[in-house]
């Protein structure tokens, strides 16, 4: 049984897909106005693990991931600048160039972290008409209103607004001041924004009688419904998406389709934090994959670091902890090489596989799964094939660990040949003496089933 924590019911539930053996999965993608920081990447690693686990449970996963290349404002309350236009001004490029550049960088980060690609990428700017149609249909249903700066969703027109985040129970206290501009209610949100008077935007379209651009939330609703249908299985994002982005996606989509629930399982990854600070893309001192590479840290050591903590727990980043994770990963590489050269049948493999599956199927318990791998290595209860099978979930690239080729001089090779001859003649005294000779030249010799093995 696969159980997953569902944010909308606040508990772990048995996962059942709508269609047998198939899963529709939508994950909110990056806003491509800057590099992804390692906090953002934590969320994508969590989603990758989820997808691998679904596949391990024989589901065919239709994974849609968007690229936000317009409409995400610097302020969640629908004011502030468009992050894309701001990024373009910062770099003296067009918003389109910025989008292209950082989307490619993001895809490169995914490769470095062994995150598999979605079945389909979709860009917000490639789906403008779908978003306009969505807003028009909501207007036809009478749940929108227009202000001087855009078209807004009237959250008082539906009775379950905010159910995902339990916002109904957290109403603003009487007298609390909120800058609402022309909004009628504090939670109302922009579906479509009009370009500011006298300001030429790089990304704008003709709709609703003016120039304008989509609000941030509408893209995910329009594209997920287009590619996954009016009801689908799982929708993910970072924990910060619960109270605003996903809450608004639910309000507008369920109002449009009239079908509830729109999504059966909502899953959210906790944040990576730096001390008590959130890592934010808008700060200049954020850490990216390039920062790790400059420090010669293997990106997969960061993946290993993430796997050690459950995705629903906040994780504190420190360089010391990352370095410790890198040591752990290197030790694991060593074990993979050892297992590759080892024969012999291992008892209990079936039990081990069952136990491993139980861990990962218990709401993605990667720390438990890793601990089990180490325990089985310590007890000599795992073989190479099984470790590689488990790595289908862990994604640490263990299948690509190559034996390091050791360069040896002709002298050392001559000693090795001599030693082999001594061993063939069962002259163990001579063989030990030659081992010491070889050691003096900086090499260790080990006798394995396949002959002498040399290491440095």
Check residue 17 and report its DSSP letter: -
Nearer residue to Zn ion within complex by CB, 31 or 114: 31
Q: How far, CA to CA in Å, does 181 sit from each of 147, 244, 358?
A: 9, 18, 51
CA distance linking residue 381 with residue 376, whole number of Å? 5
Residue count at the site for ligand AMP (CB under 6 A)?
Answer: 17
CA distance linking residue 309 with residue 306, whole number of Å? 6
**109 part of the interface to ligand AMP, by CB under 6 A:** no
Nearer residue to Zn ion within complex by CB, 122 or 220: 220
**430 part of the interface to ligand AMP, by CB under 6 A:** no
CA distance linking residue 53 with residue 366, whole number of Å? 11
Quote the least distance from Cβ 436 to ligand AMP, whole Å: 54
**300 part of the interface to Zn ion, by CB under 5 A:** no
Q: Which of ligand AMP, Zn ion, none binds 220 (CB below 5-8 Å, type-dependent)?
A: Zn ion
Beta-bridged to residue 323, according to DSSP, are none
**31 part of the interface to ligand AMP, by CB under 6 A:** yes
CA distance linking residue 389 with residue 382, whole number of Å? 11
**42 part of the interface to ligand AMP, by CB under 6 A:** yes
- 395 neighbors 48 (Cβ within 8 angstroms): yes
Nearer residue to ligand AMP within complex by CB, 303 or 435: 303
Three-state DSSP state, 54: helix
The first and second tokens of residue 321, run together, are 């902890």
The first and second tokens of residue 262, run together, are 């729109």
- Taken as a whole, the chain contains a residue count of 456
Residue count at the site for Zn ion (CB under 5 A)?
Answer: 2
Question: CB atoms < 10 A from the CB of 344, how many?
Answer: 7
Residue selected from 23, 28, 103, 422 as contacting Zn ion according to rule CB under 5 A: 28
The first and second tokens of residue 51, run together, are 């997808």
Residue selected from 237, 249, 289, 333 as contacting ligand AMP according to rule CB under 6 A: 237
**118 part of the interface to ligand AMP, by CB under 6 A:** no
Nearer residue to Zn ion within complex by CB, 68 or 386: 68
The first and second tokens of residue 84, run together, are 């894309």
What part of residues 264-323 is at the interface with ligand AMP (CB under 6 A)? 271-272, 278-279, 281
**Residue linked to tokens 């957290």:** 170
- List all residues 6 or more positions away from 252 whose beta carbon is below 8 Å from its beta carbon: 134, 138, 153, 191, 217, 218, 221
Q: Which of Zn ion, ligand AMP, none binds 62 (CB below 5-8 Å, type-dependent)?
A: none
What part of residues 54-93 is at the interface with Zn ion (CB under 5 A)? none
Nearer residue to Zn ion within complex by CB, 28 or 113: 28
Q: Which of ligand AMP, Zn ion, none binds 271 (CB below 5-8 Å, type-dependent)?
A: ligand AMP
Quote the least distance from Cβ 29 to ligand AMP, whole Å: 7
* DSSP per position, 242-305: IIIIIHHHHHHHHHHH--S-SEEEEEEEPPEEETTEEP-TTSTT---HHHHHHTT--HHHHHHH
What part of residues 210-239 is at the interface with Zn ion (CB under 5 A)? 220
Q: Which of ligand AMP, Zn ion, none binds 281 (CB below 5-8 Å, type-dependent)?
A: ligand AMP
Quote the least distance from Cβ 4 to ligand AMP, whole Å: 17
Residue selected from 6, 7, 8, 43 as contacting ligand AMP according to rule CB under 6 A: 43
Quote the least distance from Cβ 240 to ligand AMP, whole Å: 5
**370 part of the interface to Zn ion, by CB under 5 A:** no
Nearer residue to ligand AMP within complex by CB, 30 or 299: 30
State the Rg of the chain over Cα.
Answer: 27
- List all residues 6 or more positions away from 419 whose beta carbon is below 8 Å from its beta carbon: 430, 431, 434, 435, 438, 445, 452
Contacting positions for ligand AMP (CB under 6 A): 28, 30-31, 39-40, 42-43, 68, 237-238, 240-241, 271-272, 278-279, 281
Contacting positions for Zn ion (CB under 5 A): 28, 220
């Amino acid at each position: 049984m696969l159980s997953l924590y569902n944010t909308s019911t606040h508990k772990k539930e048995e996962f059942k897909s709508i269609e047998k053996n198939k899963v529709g999965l939508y994950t909110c993608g990056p806003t491509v106005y800057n590099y992804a920081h390692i906090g953002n990447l934590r969320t994508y690693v969590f989603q990758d693990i989820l997808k691998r686990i679904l596949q391990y449970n024989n589901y065919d996963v239709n994974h849609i991931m968007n690229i936000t290349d317009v409409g995400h404002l610097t302020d969640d309350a629908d004011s502030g600048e468009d992050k894309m236009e701001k990024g373009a001004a910062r770099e003296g490029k067009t918003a389109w160039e910025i989008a292209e550049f950082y989307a490619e960088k993001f895809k490169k980060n995914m490769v470095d972290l062994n995150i598999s690609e979605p079945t389909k990428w979709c860009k917000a700017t490639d789906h403008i008409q779908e978003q306009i149609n969505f807003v028009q249909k909501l207007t036809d249903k009478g749940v929108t209103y227009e202000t001087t700066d855009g078209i807004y969703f009237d959250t008082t027109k539906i009775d379950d607004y905010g159910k995902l985040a339990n916002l109904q129970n957290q109403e603003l206290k009487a007298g609390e001041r909120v800058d609402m501009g022309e909004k009628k209610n504090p939670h109302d949100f922009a579906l479509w924004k009009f370009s500011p008077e006298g300001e030429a935007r790089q990304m704008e379209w003709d709709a609703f009688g003016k120039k304008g651009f989509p609000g941030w939330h509408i893209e995910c609703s329009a594209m997920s419904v287009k590619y996954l249908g009016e009801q689908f299985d799982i929708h993910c994002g970072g924990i910060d998406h619960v109270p605003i982005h996903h809450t608004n996606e639910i309000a507008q989509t369920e109002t449009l389709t009239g079908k509830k629930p729109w999504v059966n399982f909502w899953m959210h990854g906790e944040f990576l934090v730096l001390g008590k600070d959130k890592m934010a893309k808008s700060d200049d001192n954020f850490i990216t994959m390039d920062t790790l590479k400059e420090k010669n840290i293997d990106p997969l050591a960061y993946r290993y670091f993430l796997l050690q903590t459950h995705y629903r727990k906040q994780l504190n980043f420190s360089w010391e902890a990352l370095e410790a994770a890198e040591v752990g990963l290197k030790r694991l590489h060593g074990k993979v090489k050892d297992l590759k050269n080892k024969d012999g049948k291992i008892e209990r493999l079936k039990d081990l596989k069952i136990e491993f599956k139980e861990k990962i199927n218990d709401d993605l318990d990667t720390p438990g799964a890793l601990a089990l791998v180490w325990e089985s290595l310590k007890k000599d209860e795992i073989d190479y094939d099984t470790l590689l099978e488990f790595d289908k979930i862990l994604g640490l690239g263990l299948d690509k660990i190559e034996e390091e080729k050791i360069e040896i001089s002709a002298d050392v090779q001559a000693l090795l040949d001599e030693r082999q001859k001594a061993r063939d003649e069962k002259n163990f005294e001579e063989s030990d003496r030659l081992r010491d000779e070889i050691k003096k030249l900086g090499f260790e010799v080990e006798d394995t089933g396949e002959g002498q093995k040399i290491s440095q």
